[in-house]
Amino acid sequence: MTQITITALGQRGEGIAEIAGQRLYVPFTLPGEKVEIAMEGERGTLLSVLAPSPDRIEPVCGYFGVCGGCSLQHLAPAPYAAFKRGLVVTALSHAGIDVPVGQLVEARGIGRRRATLHTRAAGAGYMRPRSHDLLDIEACPILVPALQQSAPGIARALHAAVGDSDIGFTATATGLDVSVRNERKLKPQKLVPLAQNLKLARLSLNGELVLQSQPPSVRMGKALVELPSGSFLQTTEAAEAALAGLVLAGLKGARSVADLFCGVGPFALRIAESARVLAADSDRPAIAALQHAVKHTQGLKPITTLSRDLFRDPLAPAELAPFDAVVFDPPRAGAEAQARELVRSKVKTIVGVSCEPRTFARDAAILLAGGYRLESVTPLDQFAYSIHVELVGVFKR
């Protein structure tokens, strides 16, 4: 056992101390705290807090510290917001971009509507910190009410039928969408009575439909979108609405917009209330879901869809010519190839949405070098108590 004083908070949410000129990383600690730890190489395990920081608060969950799902429940709201905003500021600074970053927008809403739980003989829950050992939980307070207690119970029931699994949950307007993945060869039909018993909207096993009592659906603007199994969805409903609001504000006045990496259309469907839209993504089921939603929604301007791998085959300047604005919301890898084509185009406005500040900063540097200016950057918090942050940047020629 060793007593140390934490001097900083690292980008992974861990307290940092120095011993004999070497950095030591200690999860669940805060700057200024005197703590007792067990050392293992460059990492420390917190044993007790001898002198707490004034920024330390009581965690909202009794599993905090032994569960690997959250890392920042002990940090008070103001320094927590500063930490998340700082992730964006630091990423932009490292890319040589000096631009004002807005205050963090709180977008957690009533909780996460998506989660993945693991099931093992030990129960159902999340993995312990830096471990593959499962922590059995009864409830998770950062999820939406429909999942907080029901998800662990459903996971246990499924484990009894299918064994060790990773189980994805999505809470939708029409019920729970549950997707089971494991390595066993099982006949999906055997799970039909269980899915009925659990009153699930849909159950899938290793990508194969077991039962769909009704299509899992979410509202996006005027549209009701039927979600494909395993499709991407913003983690919280509040974040989707906040992101869409920032996107629409950035696009103000645009009459024709290309929505790239559009998914099932959370932006495209809202943009189409006032502008023509091209919506492109490589996810064919997502594009099909968007097409279906467009067909059954009144009051939208035309939405043209395009199934295309924008990493390998980005829209070229000639294809971008009809649009006075572009939105891109890529996965964590970013939109580097598309950014390089955008600087060769005459598109006046670009709105970038990202869940990874470092790749956003890389792509932003490409756009800035190509003649755009970055007018605003707004960070959003939908990943409660984690080290992840969402952001929206608005670029103008």
DSSP classification of residue 371: T
CA distances from 160 to 119, 125, 155, 156, 181 (A): 9, 15, 9, 6, 14
| Cα–Cα distance measured from residue 221 to residue 311, given in angstroms and rounded to the nearest whole number | 28
Check: CB of residue 325 under 8 Å from CB of residue 350: yes
At 180 the three-state DSSP class reads strand
Q: How many CA atoms lie within 13 A of 247 on its CB side?
A: 31
Helices 357-369 and 77-94, interaxial angle, to 10°? 40
Catalytic residue among 67, 70, 140, 355: 355
Strand order in the sheet with 165-172: 134-136, 123-127, 114-120, 165-172, 175-181, 202-205, 208-212
Q: Mapping DSSP to helix (H, G, I), strand (E, B) and coil, where does residue 335 land?
A: coil
**Do the Cβ atoms of 395 and 128 come closer than 8 Å?**
no
CB environment 104-143: b (16+ within 10 A), e (fewer): bbbbbbebbbbbebbbbeebbbbebbeeeebbebebbbbb
Q: Is 355 a catalytic residue?
A: yes
How far CA 97 is from CA of 81, 89, 164, 376, in Å, comes to: 21, 9, 46, 12
Active site residues: 355
